[in-house]
Chains A and B, each alone.
Chain A
Amino acid sequence: MSLDEQVLSYPIPSDAALEPPAEWAELRSKCPVAHVKLPSGDQATLLTRYEDVKRVLADPRFTRQLNAPDAARLSAEGNGVFNSEMAQIIPDGGDEHQHWRRLVGKWFTAKRMAALRPSMEEIAEQLIDDMVKCGAPGDLKAGLGFPLPVYVICDMLGVPAADRERFSYWSDALLNLTRYSRAEMEAAQGEFFQYMADHVAARRAEAGDDVLSELIAAGGPEEGGLTDIQILVTGMALLVAGHETTANMIGKMVSMLLADRSRWERLLADPSLIRTAVEETLRLDANSGFGLPRYLRDEIEVGGTVLPRGTTVVCSMAAANRDESVFEGAEEMDLRRSPNAHLAFGVGAHSCLGQALARTELQVVLEVLLRKLPSLELAVPAEELERVEGLAVGGLRTVPVRW
């Protein structure tokens, strides 16, 4: 049976943790608009070509209303982070979304992120020192990748360092679809909600130098600001969106660069490559997770195929990022690639709000690692790295390293 006749199960498994499934190239060339079966058993349409994925993500007719009655469910338990009640509180589209985005987005400008660099460097140095103290081999994911983004988000939200561990747990419990029971996930969400409600109330009483205080200071909806519940949910969303994604990417980035150690050596010899190297690992991340689902309210044609209204589309940015018609030598890692218009953060009005934060964190981690641990290497062959199985965010189980 050829690919265009069969219904593939999605996500498509891959044999090697850092490598893409062979099906991606075949889908792009022969079946760019493919029928797939999701873990829930529901059917969806998978897009793998760069132009199609880019167009759909930037087109507001492809909505994020995955709660529509005839939208595909991603897993049997529902859509997790993609349509929790929480997600519905933040405006989904149009002017209201743009208004929310601009209120929050001012916290994520390139300049603000540059100003955070010294504190990020300090966090990275401290975590690396702790990892080194425990002796080699160490797990770079547990020691550096996982804690760093939580600490940074806690600082942005004005959460004291003493509460960082609780934030780490809540974030993991909300996003890790396999490690915790439903009851544990619900309890974590409840505790997290309560913590943030108290935190917002405390900030309302006494403002601090953090994103929540700033959102409160903007006033209520009648003054052009947000409601209390929107502020609270925005705070929760920043942790959920910004933790596991970056945490896993740190581990995958370092693994990809160490898998062929000549890459690491080139970076040691010329650290000015750090920026483009980070972008290239984002482009080549074959294990980025589910992709972005969209729900179609009207009939629309994509890549020569008419999609009926009610279709759920899954955009595979990771497959699109290896499209040979857009990226020269698409399967090769080119640490100098420029321009590198990959779709790892999505594209258009809904592209990742925290992308400047994520980029800065990845660049800082790489800079500090190259400086402090130039002899860093994987402690297992790259082929032995294992993927975390879960729906929302792709990552590696552990990243064993020595130095």
Chain B
Amino acid sequence: MRVTVDEDKCCGAGQCVLIAPEVFDQREDDGIVMLLEHEPGEDRHVAVREAAAVCPGAAIEVSDKA
């Protein structure tokens, strides 16, 4: 799994951090998303997919690698 985030779309809702704190964080100075892990381990895939699905800014993209 490969994760990318779009800072321009991010509205700082913090849903991703609430759901997958090992993979996402928010910058101290403006609340915008920071990606901690570009290729999270398998045990985090469910949470990352949930975070991407509920992001109100549609700022998280998940792609599957073969």
Give the B-binding residues of A (Cβ under 8 A).
58, 101-103, 105-111, 113, 275, 338-341, 345-353, 355-356, 359
Is B43 positioned at the interface, with any CB of A under 8 Å from its CB? no
- Flag B5-41 by CB within 8 Å of A: 1 or 0 each: 0000001111101100100011111111000000000
Of B30, B54, B58, which one neighbours A105 at CB under 8 angstroms? B30
Q: List chain A residues, Cβ under 8 A from B12.
A: 101-102, 105-106, 108-109, 353
| 13 pairs, CB–CB < 8 Å, chain A vs chain B | A102-B30, A102-B31, A102-B32, A105-B12, A106-B31, A107-B31, A108-B12, A108-B31, A109-B31, A111-B14, A111-B25, A348-B57, A349-B11
B31 touching A347, Cβ below 8 Å = no
A109-B17, A111-B17, A351-B57 as given contacts; A101 in contact with B11, CB under 8 Å: yes
Q: Is B45 an interface residue (CB 8 A)?
A: no
B50/A338 in contact, CB under 8 A: yes
Contacts of A113 on B, CB cut-off 8 Å?
Answer: 14
Decide: A110 and B18 in contact? CB cutoff 8 A.
yes
How many A-B contacts if CB must be within 8 Å?
A: 75
Collect the chain A residues with CB atoms within 8 Å of residue B57's CB: 347-349, 351
The reply to whether B53 and A339 form a contact with Cβ atoms under 8 Å apart is yes
Query: For B58, what are the chain A residues with a Cβ–Cβ distance below 8 Å?
Result: 58
**Is B30 a contact partner of A106 (Cβ separation < 8 A)?**
yes
Contact of A351 with B31 in the complex, beta carbons under 8 Å: no
With contacts A346-B56, A348-B57, A351-B57 known, is A339 near B14, CB below 8 A? no
Among all A-B residue pairs, the 4 with the closest Cβ atoms: A110-B14, A339-B53, A110-B17, A102-B30
Instruction: Identify the interface centre among A101, A106, A346: most chain B CB within 10 Å of its CB.
Output: A106
Asked, given contacts A109-B14, A339-B50, whether A348 binds B56 with beta carbons under 8 Å apart, the answer is yes
> Smallest CB–CB gap between B24 and chain A, Å?
9
A341 to B17, CA, bound (A): 15
Closest residue of chain B to A355 (Cβ to Cβ) is B13
Task: List the interface of chain B (C-beta within 8 A of A).
Answer: 11-15, 17-18, 21, 25-32, 49-50, 53-54, 56-58
Residues of A within 8 A of B30 (CB): 102-103, 105-106
Scoring A101, A103, A105 by chain B CB atoms within 10 A of each residue's CB, the highest score goes to: A105
Using A102-B30, A109-B17, A347-B56 as known contacts, list a sample of 16 further A-B pairs with CB atoms less than 8 Å apart, ordered by residue number in A: A101-B11, A102-B12, A102-B31, A103-B30, A105-B12, A106-B27, A108-B31, A109-B26, A111-B25, A339-B53, A349-B57, A350-B11, A351-B13, A351-B57, A356-B18, A359-B18
A345/B13 in contact, CB under 8 A: yes
A101 to B25, CA, bound (A): 18
- The distance from the CB of A118 to the nearest CB of chain B, in whole angstroms, is 17
Nearest neighbor of A107 in chain B, beta-carbon distance: B31
CA–CA, A60 and B20, complex, Å: 29
Bound form: Cα–Cα A355–B55 in Å: 12
Residues in B neighbouring A339, C-beta threshold 8 A: 49-50, 53-54
A142: min CB distance to chain B, Å: 29
A315 to B64, CA, bound (A): 34
Q: A341-B53, A349-B57 are in contact. Are A355 and B14 (CB under 8 A)?
A: yes
Question: Is A108 touching B14 in the complex (CB atoms < 8 A)?
Answer: yes
Which chain B residues lie closer than 8 Å to A275 at the CB level?
18
B50 contacts which chain A residues (CB < 8 A)?
A: 338-339
Alpha-carbon distance between A338 and B17 when the two chains are bound, in angstroms: 16
Output the least CB separation between B44 and chain A (Å): 14
Min CB gap B62→A, angstroms = 12
Assembled-state Cα–Cα distance A355/B17 (Å): 13
A341 to B25, CA, bound (A): 20
Residue of A nearest to B18 (CB): A110
Complex formed: what's the CA distance from A363 to B22 in Å? Answer: 21
Q: What is the distance, in angstroms, from B20's C-beta to the closest C-beta of chain A? A: 11
Q: Which chain B positions have C-beta within 8 A of A101?
A: 11-12
B32 surroundings in chain A (CB, below 8 A)? 102
A353 CB contacts on chain B under 8 angstroms: 12
* Across-interface contacts of B49 in A (CB, < 8 A): 339
Complex Cα distance, B21 from A379, in Å, reads: 39
B55 to chain A, nearest CB (A): 8
